Structure 1
Amino acid sequence: MLKKRKLGRNISEITVGEKLVVNQKIEDRDLLLYLGLTDDANPLYIQYDYASQTPLKRPIVPAIMLTGIITSAISKYLPGPGSHITKQEIRFLQPVYHYENLQFTFEVTNVDHENHFIDIKVEALRNEAEPVLEGMISVCPPYALSKLNVSVLENF
């Protein structure tokens, strides 16, 4: 027997001002998985000898990894499974270094029922104080299905 899986919240359940906070520590394992998956050989991401000779002084986290944390939080929590990003604008204010603790804050700033999307403001802070990124994300929340049962979501 397959277990029924839960979709995220539909647009009628989301209100302006809602917030979500996600804490993330960037570990070597995460960086190595990214580099292996993408075959990205940028020495600035992993080579301490190279990075130490740049103004950054040590390896940084690829911007796309930070974007992945944002995407994951939207897919898992706000609005959750079944949602997808339709537009994103992210400014990377400061480099993020290996092993740093980041706090991502997401806030719903607009709910457009007619066009079925929400806007979410996102920011990430290093050590709960220093901004490292900010952005706006437009998201299509999951659609309310007329009948949600096991057969609909067999492979979910």
Structure 2
Amino acid sequence: MLLDKKRKLGKQLEELSVGESIQLTEKIEDKDLLLYLGITNDNNPLYIQHDYAAQTTYEKPVVPTIMLIGIVTSAISKYLPGAGSYIREQTFQFPKPLYHYETIQIQLIVEQINLVDREIIIKVEGTNDKEEIVLVGTVVAIPPIHPK
């Protein structure tokens, strides 16, 4: 169980460097969408009903944008800076939709380190299978502070 594990804290501010990055790949499957819909009770038919989506300009179901944000915030919590990080601010744009069964490649890059406010600015970009940009954003995160 997650609550029972003693987890190592992520990188502190002084351990990070501008340009440091990670890239992750996620394929969006029906099980992921059903979990999202079950948790949020968001019943927008554009997200799951193929017949409905076929009647729209999108032509097929799209992935809810909040799911993409969830992948980003999870990557920050797991990898960059890691466990114990706090997201203070985030801004995202979604120039094109990501569709069911597509794979998204997301890159997170430390763009700025603010020693005074003890926070970092992470640039985020996600592309689909056709290498089209489907996600662009900025996250301001406070790396974990190790207890003395």
TM range (shorter): over 0.9
Seq. identity, %: 52
Shift of 1:5: 2.2
Shift of 1:4: 4.2
Output the CA distance in 2 between the equivalents of 1:64 and 1:3.
Answer: 28
Deviations along 1:36-87, one digit per CA (max 9) or x if unpaired, are: 0111110100111111000000110000000000000000000000001101
Matched ranges for 1:1-156 at <5 A: 4-127=6-129, 129-146=131-148
Matching residue's letter, 1:145: P
Matching residue's letter, 2:33: L
Output the CA distance in 2 between the equivalents of 1:84 and 1:28.
Answer: 29
Q: Flag structure 2 segments of 5+ consecutive residues without an equivalent.
A: none
Shift of 1:3: 6.3
Question: Contact conserved, 1:7 with 1:80, CA < 8 A, in 2?
Answer: yes
Normalising by the residue count of structure 2, what TM-score does the alignment of the two structures yield? 0.95
Deviations along 1:89-139, one digit per CA (max 9) or x if unpaired, are: 100010010110110000001001111100000000112621111011000
Larger radius of gyration: 1
Output the CA distance in 2 between the equivalents of 1:4 and 1:60.
Answer: 37
Output the CA distance in 2 between the equivalents of 1:72 and 1:4.
Answer: 18
Question: Contact conserved, 1:46 with 1:59, CA < 8 A, in 2?
Answer: yes
Q: Taking structure 1 as reference, are residues 18 and 128 closer, same or farther at Cα in structure 2, changes over 3 Å only?
A: farther
Q: Taking structure 1 as reference, are residues 97 and 3 closer, same or farther at Cα in structure 2, changes over 3 Å only?
A: closer
Matching residue's letter, 1:31: L
Q: Would you identify which runs of 4 or more consecutive aligned residues in structure 1 move more than 3 Å?
A: none
Q: Flag structure 1 segments of 5+ consecutive residues without an equivalent.
A: 147-156
Matching residue's letter, 1:102: I
Output the CA distance in 2 between the equivalents of 1:52 and 1:127.
Answer: 20
- Secondary structure class of the residue paired with 1:61: coil
| Matched residue count | 145
Question: Contact conserved, 1:106 with 1:123, CA < 8 A, in 2?
Answer: yes
- Root mean square deviation, CA, Å: 1.2
